[in-house]
Amino acid sequence: MNENDIVKTDFLVIGSGIAGLQFAIEVSKIGKVVIVTKQKIFDSNTELAQGGIAAAIDETDSFESHIEDTYKASVGLGHKSVIEEIVSSAPNIIENMIQMGVKFNTKNGKKISISNLALAKEGGHSRKRIIYVEDFTGREIEQQMIEIVRKNPNIKIYENHMTVDLITQHHIKGNGQFLPGITCWGAYVLDIQNGKVKRFLANKTLLATGGCGQIYYYTTNSETATGDGIAMAYRAGARIANMEFIQFHPTTLYQPDSQRAFLISEAVRGEGAILRLPDHSEFMKEYHPMENLAPRDVVSQAIDFEMVKNGYKFVYLDLTHLNPEKMIARFPQIYKKCIENGFDFTKDMIPVVPAAHYTCGGILSNTDGETDIKNLYACGETACIGLHGANRLASNSLLEGAVTSNNAAKLPQNIEKIKFPNIPKWSEENIFDENEWVVISHNKSTLREMMWNYVGIIRSNRRLQYASERIRIFYREIEEFYQKNPVRRDLIEARNLATTAYLIIRSAIMRKESRGLHFNRNYPEKKKEFEKDTII
């Protein structure tokens, strides 16, 4: 093989959120690590996470209570054994983060220790168990991990690099030489700045690319969240599960001219904020006994129902009855953003709308991150391990990413050295057709609007059928363009978005009931025969 376009390493990590960084830190103790991230290393959904990490550490709390809350939120689809493992691992993960230097809020401002951590409450939780850093928990965790990663001589970071495809038997001629099953030897990776594609070869590859929020017109997600890992794994032959369950966060700041939604943390309602209609009346008591702290699927659907029924463009989140100094100190980032948009939440109610927030489905894997494909792991939001089921409980996401990536890093097979086959160079023939790209780029924007309007919070058979017909056209046009043109970031993302949209639509059509985050007007009730995962 020509070595000029090859990067060899023991571990290839694709993505730089909590799952990717946690894995990189741990496996760097036994080998060389390469992190590939398509923007800067801090660009991820982790960096945007406001709320915190759920952990039963208080003497009035218990693993059993946290497990029960998680299972209830999952609407019968959470796997009990998986929930038990993730929940029981939480205290160790928190202790590890304290050792890394994460400055969690404490009860009395004294030394940070697991017994002295401040705890908040969020929707669906029966106790205060959210460990947090004001309203920027994810950013604090990300910054501490990045500092550790950058100082580590065994870790090399490739920023502005984007994975095009996983390297498997599909790329190698004469693959009859291989044993049954699919093996991953790394990935083809685009250097975004110079347009060259290199072969990144690794004994073990981790997909930690996050979710697919950018598939929707309004989302809280980082612009990097284009379903890359899910799409690549599906194309390589991995099973994908539960993609119909896209979580819409109930409360994002209403900004009619912005597609990037600013999150108003669920912890705000945990502190006592109330959802109100424009006439100031409360409405959540009509939908759930937990009212404003009901699980996210219930609150998002309730807001959507009220908006559609009454023609409202938004509803309000009211903090004006709460202690102003305490709220500003607790939510400084949210307060600043509201002020920038003309709202002082100590005096004014905040206009809010739901927005796409979290992908509960993903690459089918276990709590150790193992997938169908040999030597390929998937952790964090890009994976589906059976923790969230039909709806994710608030603040279980950072926990899942940290636990599963930590488990994956400890697997005994990580010390294996594999023999690489003769992997072909990436073909870079043809010239990018800018005129044709205008049509494809327009399709990308249209795709996001279609997903918002037809595969959003409220669905129907007619809407899903229309979306299914449209996505086949989108996908065919994008795939034909992809085959004829050199790759670049926006083309790879368009291809991945189309693939992921297809998986969401197909999964939604397969589930002929309403459960959790999937509500279909034609099947408004839960059905016993659909108390199972949707697997493609």
pTM for the structure as a whole: 0.93
Each residue's pLDDT tens digit, 206-220: 999 999 999 998 899
The reply to whether 422 falls in a domain is: no
Confidence at residue 509, expressed as pLDDT on a 0 to 100 scale: 98
Beta-carbon contacts of 228 under 8 Å, excluding residues fewer than 6 positions away, are 14, 38, 162, 163, 209, 492, 493, 496
> Is pLDDT above 90 for 128?
yes
175: pLDDT strictly greater than 60: no
Mean pLDDT confidence for 365-386: 98
pLDDT (mean) for 267-271: 92
Q: CATH code at 399?
A: 3.50.50.60
Average pLDDT over residues 228-251: 96
* Same domain flag for 519 and 397: no
Res 173: pLDDT: 65
Using pLDDT thresholds of 50, 70 and 90, give the confidence band for residue 180: low
Residues 265 and 135: beta-carbon distance below 8 Å: yes
Q: Is residue 57 part of a domain?
A: yes
Distance CA 81, CA 71 (A): 11
CA distances from 225 to 234, 293, 500 (A): 16, 27, 11
The pLDDT score that the predictor gives to residue 429 is 72
Q: Is residue 423 part of a domain?
A: no
Same domain, yes or no, for 350 and 397?
Answer: no
Distance CA 139, CA 318 (A): 26
Edge-to-edge strand ranges of the sheet holding 315-318: 246-253, 350-359, 315-318, 274-276
- Judgement on whether residues 162 and 256 belong to the same structural domain of the protein: no
Single out the residue of 289, 211, 288 nearest to residue 243, CA to CA.
Answer: 211
Q: What is the mean pLDDT of residues 17-33?
A: 97
Specify whether 222 is located in the same domain as 124: yes
Whether residue 193 contacts residue 161, with contact meaning beta carbons closer than 8 Å, is answered with no
CATH of the domain at 500: 1.20.58.100
Quote the percentage of the chain above a pLDDT of 90.
83
Q: Tell me, what's the pLDDT at 177? A: 56
pLDDT at 49 over 60: yes
- Would you say residue 342 has pLDDT above 90? yes
Task: Report yes or no on 201 lying in a domain.
Answer: yes
CATH (domain of 280): 3.90.700.10
114-123, 173-182, 335-344 — which is least confidently predicted? 173-182
pLDDT value of residue 334? 94
Q: Are 457 and 521 in contact (CB under 8 A)?
A: no
- CB-CB contact of 352 with 254 (8 Å): yes
Q: How many CB atoms lie within 10 A of CB 517?
A: 26
Query: Which is more confident, 409 or 443?
Result: 409
State which residues form the domain around 25: 3-244+360-415
Token pair 């002929």 in the structure block, residue: 512
Write out pLDDT tens, residues 483-526: 988 999 999 999 999 999 999 999 999 999 999 999 999 999 99
Encoded tokens for 491: 């083309």
Q: Indicate whether 408 and 371 sit together in one domain.
A: yes
Query: Where do the DSSP E strands lie in 71-132?
Result: 119-120, 130-131
* CA 498/CA 494 separation, integer angstroms: 6
Mean pLDDT over 345-355 rounds to 95
Task: State how many domains the chain has.
Answer: 3
131/97 Cα distance (integer angstroms): 11
DSSP H/E element including 408: helix 397-409
| Residues facing residue 126 across a β-bridge | none
Could you tell me if 239 and 260 lie in one domain? no
| pLDDT, average across residues 152-176 | 88
CA 425, 232, 210, 194 torsion-angle sign: positive
Residue 159 lies in a domain: yes
> According to the model, what pLDDT value does residue 1 have?
44
Question: Do residues 323 and 456 both lie within one domain?
Answer: no
Residue 535 included in any domain: no
Q: In whole angstroms, what is the distance from residue 12 CA to residue 24 CA? A: 9
Residue 142 pLDDT level (bands cut at 50, 70, 90): very high
- Report the distance separating Cα 394 and Cα 64, nearest Å: 17
**Alpha-carbon distance 23 to 383, whole Å?**
14
The answer on 310 and 184 residing in a single domain is no
Co-location of 42 and 8 in the same domain: yes
406: nearest Cα among 27, 16, 9: 27
Give one DSSP letter per residue of 180-241, joined into a string.
Answer: SS-B--EEEEEETTTTEEEEEEEEEEEE-----GGGSSSBSS-TT-S-HHHHHHHHHT--EE
Amino acid 325: pLDDT: 96
Angle 443-481-476 (CA atoms, 0-180°, nearest 5)? 65
CA atoms of 45 and 37, how far apart (whole Å): 13
Q: What is the pLDDT of the chain when averaged over all its residues?
A: 93
Instruction: Compute the average pLDDT of residues 169-197.
Output: 82
296-341 pLDDT tens trace = 889 999 999 999 889 999 999 999 999 999 999 999 999 999 999 9
Q: Among residues 139, 199, 269, 296, which one is catalytic?
A: 296
Please state the rounded mean pLDDT for residues 171-176: 64
Q: What is the DSSP string of 148-189?
A: HHHH-TTEEEETTEEEEEE-SGGGSS-GGGSPSS-B--EEEE
Q: What per-residue confidence (pLDDT) applies to 148? A: 97
User: Which DSSP category does 321 fall into?
Assistant: T
Are residues 99 and 157 part of one domain?
Answer: yes
Q: Are 86 and 67 in contact (CB under 8 A)?
A: no
What pLDDT, in 10s, does the model give residues 404-436? 999 999 999 999 988 898 898 988 777 778 878
The structure tokens listed for 200 are: 């990144």
Task: Verify that 177 and 223 share a domain, yes or no.
Answer: yes
Residues 180 and 236 in one domain: yes
Based on the residue annotation, tell me whether 127 is a catalytic residue of this protein.
no
Indicate whether 536 belongs to any domain.
no
* pLDDT of amino acid 186: 98
Given 372, 388, 415, the domain boundary residue is 415
